[in-house]
Amino acid sequence: MSDQEDIFALLRTTGTTRKPHFMIVEGEPRSKARPRFSGTGRVYNDKKQRDHEKGLQWAMKVECRKPFRSNVAIACIFYRSTKHRIDLDNLLKQIFDAANNIFWLDDMQVTACCALLRMDVETPRTLIAIGEHHEGLDRGNSFRTTCAQCKKIFIWRKYRSIADRRFCSRTCKWHYGQTVLRAPANCLFCHSPFIRKHLAQKLCSNSCRIEWMVADKKRRAHPKSFCQCCGKPVSRPEYRRCRDCWRDGKKEYAGNGVVYADDRQVVEAHVKRAIGDRDELRVKIWPVA
C-alpha cells in the first residue's frame, strides 16, 4: 500500500469521504517545543523550532491556497528514524500551530483527528491528509458575524479584539462611534441626559463622578460587627470577640447567652443539669480575635 492510500484509509475512519488534501513533509518529525525564557525574562522560541515550523508552513501553502471555513478532519502518520522518547500530542501540536490561517482559520475547527507513529530508519517523513468534516457542531461559523454598522456578514480575524470583531472595517467602527456619541445618554448618578465625549463616559460631570465614587465606596464597605460578649464593635467583620474579651478568655454560653470567664465556671454552674441533658454543656467557642 502506498503512502497516499495508507493516509487516506486512516482519514476515512473519521467519516471524511470527499477527496482531501495530501502532502508529504520530508525529514525527521519534530514535536512542539515549549517556549524558553532569557535572562531578562523575555519569552522566545528555539531557532530550530522556528525553522521547522516555517518549513511546514511553506509546504502547506503549496498544497492549500485557501483555508477551510467549516469543520476539518486531519490524519497524520509520523515516520521516525530513532526510538527516542517523543509525545504524539506534541507532534500534532506542531502541525496544528503551523496550519493556522493555511488549512483553517483556527485549530478549533478540527473536530476529528487520527495519528500514527511508525519507524522508518532510512526515510523519516510526515504524511498529512486534511479534509472537510461534516459531523458535530459547525465550528467554522464561529468566525462569521454581522457588522454592527453596515449589517454585512464578514469573517473576523483570529487575533482581533472583541470590540473590533463587531465591525467589518475601521470605517464602520468610526461611523458607529460617531452615531453613538451623537445620541444622548442618561447619567448613571443623577439620571439627567447628556452628550458623551467618548464612548466609555457614563457620568455627566466631575461632581457626579465624585459623589458616585463616595456612594460606591459606602455601598461596598463591610457591615460593622460587634463583640458577642460585651457588645463593643470589633475591628474586622469575621471577629466575634473584642480584644479585651479575648484577652480575658471570656466565652458565651450557647444555652441562654450568659457570659463566663472560663470553661470551669460553665462546668460548675451546670454539672447537675448535664446529667439529665448533655446539650446544656455546649459552649460556643469563637475564633481568636
Query: What DSSP assignment string belongs to 53-84?
Result: HHHHHHHHHHH-SS-BSS-EEEEEEEEESS--
Same domain, yes or no: 165 and 97: no
Cα(191)–Cα(209) distance, integer angstroms? 12
272 pLDDT more than 50:
no
Element (H, E) at 220: helix 206-220
Cα(79)–Cα(29) distance, integer angstroms? 7
Same domain, yes or no: 59 and 109: yes
The whole model's pTM is what? Answer: 0.51
Among 4, 23, 155, smallest CA distance to 98 is for 23
Which range has the worst mean pLDDT, 93-107, 163-177, 226-240, 269-283?
A: 269-283
SS3 of residue 275 by DSSP: helix
Cα(130)–Cα(88) distance, integer angstroms? 18
2 pLDDT more than 90:
no
Return mean pLDDT, the chain: 78
Domain boundary among 121, 140, 159: 140
SS3 of residue 169 by DSSP: coil
Mean pLDDT of 60-67: 83
Q: Given this model, what pLDDT does residue 274 score?
A: 47
Q: What is the pLDDT of residues 126-154, one digit of tens each?
A: 999 888 887 766 665 556 778 888 888 77
Which residue's entry shows cell 458607529? 176
Among 101, 108, 111, 157, smallest CA distance to 16 is for 111
Q: Given this model, what pLDDT does residue 38 score?
A: 82
Q: Given this model, what pLDDT does residue 78 score?
A: 93
Same domain, yes or no: 37 and 101: yes
The band of 284, judged by pLDDT with boundaries at 50, 70 and 90, is very low
Mean pLDDT of 173-191: 84
Domain boundary among 115, 140, 165: 140
Mean pLDDT of 266-289: 46
Cell numbers for 83: 526510538
61 pLDDT more than 80:
yes
| Residue burial 209-226, b: 16+ Cβ < 10 Å; e: rest | beebeeeeeeeeeeeeee
Mean pLDDT of 15-41: 81
Same domain, yes or no: 26 and 128: yes
Q: Given this model, what pLDDT does residue 47 score?
A: 83
Cell numbers for 39: 535572562
Element (H, E) at 48: helix 47-63
Same domain, yes or no: 211 and 261: no
Q: What is the pLDDT of residues 36-50, one digit of tens each?
A: 888 787 887 788 888
Same domain, yes or no: 126 and 162: no
The contacts of residue 123 (CB under 8 Å, 6+ apart) are: 26, 79
Same domain, yes or no: 114 and 95: yes
88 pLDDT more than 80:
yes
Q: Given this model, what pLDDT does residue 142 score?
A: 59
Q: Given this model, what pLDDT does residue 80 score?
A: 92
Cα(35)–Cα(44) distance, integer angstroms? 6
Same domain, yes or no: 55 and 169: no
The fraction of the chain above a pLDDT of 70, given in percent, is 78
Same domain, yes or no: 133 and 199: no
Same domain, yes or no: 16 and 128: yes
Into how many domains does the chain fold?
A: 3
244 pLDDT more than 70:
yes
Cα(219)–Cα(131) distance, integer angstroms? 57
Same domain, yes or no: 228 and 197: no
The band of 275, judged by pLDDT with boundaries at 50, 70 and 90, is very low
Domain boundary among 89, 116, 140: 140
SS3 of residue 146 by DSSP: strand
Same domain, yes or no: 27 and 156: no
Mean pLDDT of 207-236: 81
Question: Which residue range(s) make up the domain with 172?
Answer: 143-220
Cα(269)–Cα(267) distance, integer angstroms? 6
Among 278, 220, 279, smallest CA distance to 254 is for 279
The band of 260, judged by pLDDT with boundaries at 50, 70 and 90, is low
Tell me which DSSP letter residue 28 carries: -
